[in-house]
C-alpha cells in the first residue's frame, strides 16, 4: 500500500521514486528493487526490509553470485550514494529489467554497465 500511495507523487518527469523507511534508510522504489555496485561488491537491502522482493532482484543476485561477485545485504544509508566507492545504482524489476540510475534528484551518479552485462536475461536464456 505504501508503494501505491507513493506512486501518486509522480510528476511525470521522474522514472521512479525511491522509498525510505522511517529512519531515512533506502529500501526500494515504488515498483523496483535496488542494487548498488560498490568497489569490490554489490549491496542490496535485506529481503526482510522490502515490501516486495522481486523475481528480477532474485535473478540478478543469483547471476552475480554465479559469476563470483560478493553480495552484501544491508540497510542502505543515503550517504552510501555519495561515497567514493560508489560505481552504480540500479533499479530492477521483471517489467523494466535492469535500469542504471544516472541522476538521483539533482545529483549525477556514476554509471557502469556492470549489472546489465553480467545479468543479461536474454544471454542467460540462450
> What distance in Å separates the CA atoms of residue 1 and residue 7, rounded to the nearest whole number?
10
Question: What mean pLDDT is reported for the chain?
Answer: 85
List of residues 6+ apart from 40 with CB closer than 8 A: 70, 85
What does the pLDDT read at residue 11? 63
Mean per-residue pLDDT for 78-89?
Answer: 93
Q: State pTM to two decimals.
A: 0.84
Half-sphere exposure in the Cβ direction for 55 (13 Å, CA): 4
Three-state secondary structure call for residue 78: helix
> For the chain, what are the domain ranges?
2-121
* Distances, alpha carbon 78 to alpha carbons 3, 24, 86, 89, 92, in Å: 19, 7, 12, 12, 18
* 3.30.70.1520, 3.20.10.10, 3.40.50.410, 3.40.50.150: CATH of 2-121: 3.20.10.10
Q: What is the pLDDT of residues 2-43, one digit of tens each?
A: 655 555 565 667 678 888 899 999 999 988 999 999 998 999
Q: State which of 6-10, 14-18, 67-71, 95-99 shows the largest mean pLDDT.
A: 67-71
> What distance in Å separates the CA atoms of residue 3 and residue 16, rounded to the nearest whole number?
11
Amino acid at each position: 500500500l505504501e508503494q501505491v500511495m507513493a506512486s501518486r507523487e509522480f510528476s511525470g518527469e521522474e522514472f521512479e521514486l525511491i522509498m525510505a523507511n522511517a529512519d531515512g534508510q533506502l529500501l526500494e522504489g515504488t515498483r523496483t528493487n535496488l542494487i548498488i555496485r560498490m568497489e569490490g561488491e554489490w549491496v542490496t537491502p535485506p529481503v526482510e526490509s522490502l515490501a516486495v522482493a522481486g523475481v528480477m532482484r532474485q535473478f540478478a543476485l543469483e547471476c552475480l553470485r554465479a559469476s563470483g561477485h560478493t553480495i552484501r545485504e544491508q540497510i542502505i544509508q543515503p550517504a552510501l550514494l555519495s561515497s567514493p566507492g560508489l560505481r552504480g545504482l540500479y533499479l530492477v524489476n521483471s517489467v523494466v529489467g535492469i535500469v542504471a540510475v544516472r541522476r538521483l534528484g539533482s545529483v549525477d551518479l556514476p554509471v557502469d554497465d556492470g549489472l546489465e552485462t553480467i545479468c543479461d536475461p536474454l544471454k542467460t536464456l540462450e
